[in-house]
Amino acid sequence: MHKMQQELLNYRVFGNGHPVVFLHGFMESISMWEFIESCNLPFQCIVIDLPGHGNSDLWDTNEVPSLNFMAKEVQNVLQVLDIEKYHVVGHSMGGYVAMILKETDDSCQKVVLLNSTFKEDSELKKRDRIRVADLALKAKNLFIQEAIPGLFYRFHKEEAVVQTLIEEAKQMEGQAIAYAALAMRERKDTFYLFKNFPKQIFVIQGKHDPLIPCEQMQVDLTELTNQLGILDNTGHMSQFENPQAAVEALRNFLA
């Protein structure tokens, strides 16, 4: 069962400047942002473990898993830190949470979707989320071992990183993985935010992302090409596959 007590998500703060919140993706943790710490970005960086990930417990007692719950818990951390205005960078699932923050929190300024999307799941993807949730409960380790290598464009070049991510994901509870999968299934399309908030949302896209086709992203953002950055030789894991280019894109947009 999900833990009942009210807690605060695990987080770390480093650097100085305007606050930027970094939200990891599905089956990841704040460890994925370690490369940011050595880049001397001119920001106060706030990295947060989302519910059920890393060192954050999952205590949602609602019947339907929800990314809105995750967004609210992120806001609770920012309230404790007395953050008035902030930017947010979200990788994959973290990007979905970031868009909810942009939608619901006036304090949220710029958003960077890192290997993420503003689209809701297709019917096919929604069915696959149910399959993933079932696998997480019945064969968690097998699912993790099969899923993570496929996120990379050339995973054989990143074997050490892949293995580290696999071992970290195995520390998660199967129920937390299932919760996150089903929460992503329930999200809504947020493309309208690009028009409501001109030049406040930026997409960093891997040219060879297996989950979010680059060609389709280019079509979707045809009239917003200045809000899209494409990284060559990169799959779904830009922060590991092409960290220097990802950091440079972040620096340019958030400056």
SS3 (DSSP) at 208: coil
Which tokens hold the place of 201? 């949302």
Q: Answer yes or no: is pLDDT of 202 > 80.
A: yes
Give the pLDDT confidence score for residue 6 in this predicted structure: 53
Please classify residue 6 by burial: count the beta carbons closer than 10 Å to its beta carbon, then call 0-12 exposed, 13-18 middle and 19+ buried.
exposed
Q: What is the pTM of this model?
A: 0.95
Average pLDDT over all residues of the chain? 94
Tell me how far the alpha carbon of residue 109 is from its chain's centroid.
17
Which domains are present in the chain? 11-120+188-254 (3.40.50.1820)
Q: Answer yes or no: is pLDDT of 4 > 60.
A: no
Distances (CA, A) of 198 to 101, 111, 127, 201: 16, 11, 33, 7
- Comparing CA positions, the residue from 251, 228, 247 lying closest to residue 238 is 247
Torsion sign over Cα 25, 28, 29, 31: negative
- Comparing CA positions, the residue from 92, 80, 107, 86 lying closest to residue 212 is 92
137-172 pLDDT, tens digit each: 999 999 999 999 999 999 888 999 999 999 999 999
Residue 58: HSE in the Cβ half-sphere, 13 Å Cα cutoff? 22
